[in-house]
Amino acid sequence: MNMDFHVHGLLSKRKDFNKEFFMNEIHFAKSNGLNGIILCEHFNAKDFLVIYDFLENNFIYEGDRYIVEGISVFPAMEVSIKNKGHVILAGDRHSIIDIYELLKGFREKDNLIELEDLLDQADIFNLLKIGAHPCRRGHKLCNQPHDLLKRLDALDLNGKDIFKKGESIARDELINLSQELGLNIITGSDSHTPIQLGGIYTRLNKECSTIKELKDCIIKGDYTIEINSALNFKIFSSKILKRYLLKSQTYDKNTEFKI
């Protein structure tokens, strides 16, 4: 089962949810050999709940994921924490919506949640906890207390970090951190456009339909990491597309979109 553990459903957290844009992501995921994605929109995104209304009203939900044209879409969110860093939380749909509601008072830069408090809540809901791009400049989750980081389930080898730093540097710094913490490494494209999908993914050695199954695979290391030779081109092209759509100031929920 080929999984991308870091996919966004919005062009930007400040933009409308566009269903055509999202379905293009699904089509690209499918055509690039993916079987599942962790849909980790930012917890303070403008249309966070609109995404889940769309999924709930249009697709079957089985296990802990929606089945969208053959792609398993696992509900999740990317949470910004106090003193820098992002954490991806994935779970069943009800738990993700509950966590979203619990975080309503922590959405501003000067009032973000402490990592320990977020981990405590995640454990109550039995969520999968991934350290997103933990060594990225400006975010630096790696600078959080290591006794807390050890409570994560995995670290994210992020496609954008490979693009910026080079594969060897991005891998080495993450491997060093993972060894210090005793955590395994999975992969995420960090995609905000369809083009980026398929550049990097995790090939699980079994089919997973629940968060527990995903977590078991990760903890056991029952997977391999795959990096497409076209990763850098995909990310570069994606950045240009995103920049163009944002600057055009015409992108909204009604924009017709097809790649």
- The whole-number average pLDDT for the span 76-89 is 97
Q: 95-115: per-residue pLDDT in tens? A: 999 999 999 999 998 999 999
Residue 36, domain extent: 2-248
- The reply to whether 254 falls in a domain is no
- The reply to whether 258 falls in a domain is no
- In this prediction, residue 32 carries a pLDDT of 96
- The reply to whether 24 falls in a domain is yes
Per the prediction, the chain carries an average pLDDT of 96
Confidence check: pLDDT of 258 > 90: no
pTM higher than 0.85, yes or no? yes
256 or 143: which leads in pLDDT: 143
The CATH number of the domain where 97 resides is what? 3.20.20.140
Q: 153-182: per-residue pLDDT in tens? A: 999 999 999 999 999 999 999 999 999 999
Angle, CA of 122, 123 and 124, to the nearest 5°: 90
- The reply to whether 97 falls in a domain is yes
CA–CA gap between residue 65 and residue 80 (Å, rounded): 23
The one-letter amino acid code at 58 reads N
Q: 184-198: per-residue pLDDT in tens? A: 999 999 999 999 999
- The reply to whether 259 falls in a domain is no
Count: domains in the chain: 1
- The reply to whether 91 falls in a domain is yes
- The reply to whether 256 falls in a domain is no
What CA dihedral angle connects 54, 57, 60 and 62, to 10 degrees? 80
- In this prediction, residue 100 carries a pLDDT of 97
Confidence check: pLDDT of 12 > 80: yes
- The reply to whether 255 falls in a domain is no
pLDDT band with cut points at 50, 70 and 90 for residue 257: confident
- In this prediction, residue 137 carries a pLDDT of 87
Nearest to 161 by CA among 145, 173, 151, 150: 173
